[in-house]
Amino acid sequence: MTGRRVIGGPAPRAPRWEATASQTRGQMTGLGEGLGGATGATGTPCPSPNPTIWSPRVRGHVCPRREGPGGQSPPDHASTPVKATRRALIVLAGVALATPAAATTTGERWFRTSDGVRLRYLEAGSGRVVVFVPGWCMPGRIFAPQIEALSRRWRVVVLDPRGQGGSEVPREGYEPTRRGQDVRDLLAHLGGGRVVLAGWSLGVLDVLSYADLAGDGRIAGLVLIDNSVGEGQPPPPRASRFFQNLRQRRDATVRGFVASMYRTPQDAAYLDGIARDAQRMPVEASIRLLSYPRPREFWRDSLYAVRRPVLYAVTPRLRGQAEAVAQRHPAPTVEIFETAGHALFVDEPARFNAAVDDFLARKAAWS
Confidence of residue 103 (pLDDT cuts 50, 70, 90): low
Q: Average of pLDDT values for 39-67?
A: 31
Distance CA 325, CA 314 (A): 12
The mean of the pLDDT values for the chain is: 81
| CB 106 within 8 Å of CB 122 | yes
- Is the predicted pLDDT of residue 77 greater than 90, yes or no? no
> How much is the pLDDT for 124?
98
> How much is the pLDDT for 51?
26
- Is the predicted pLDDT of residue 14 greater than 90, yes or no? no
CA 60 from centroid of its chain's CA atoms: 19
The residue count for the chain = 367
Domains of the chain by start residue, with CATH: 25-65+79-233+254-362 (3.40.50.1820)
> How much is the pLDDT for 235?
87
The CB density around residue 205, as the number of other CB atoms within 10 Å, is: 32
Beta strands in the chain (DSSP E): 57-59, 107-112, 118-124, 129-133, 155-160, 195-200, 219-225, 310-314, 332-336
CA 358 from centroid of its chain's CA atoms: 17
- Is the predicted pLDDT of residue 13 greater than 50, yes or no? no
- Which one has a higher pLDDT value, 338 or 98? 338
Q: Average of pLDDT values for 164-186?
A: 98
- Which one has a higher pLDDT value, 356 or 98? 356
Q: Average of pLDDT values for 86-93?
A: 48
Residue by residue, what is the 3-state secondary structure of 303-323? HHHCCCCEEEEECHHHHHHHH
- Which one has a higher pLDDT value, 28 or 88? 88
Q: Average of pLDDT values for 348-355?
A: 98
- Is the predicted pLDDT of residue 123 greater than 90, yes or no? yes
Distances (CA, A) of 79 to 35, 120, 307, 321: 27, 43, 28, 17
pTM: 0.78
- Is the predicted pLDDT of residue 316 greater than 90, yes or no? yes
- Is the predicted pLDDT of residue 169 greater than 50, yes or no? yes
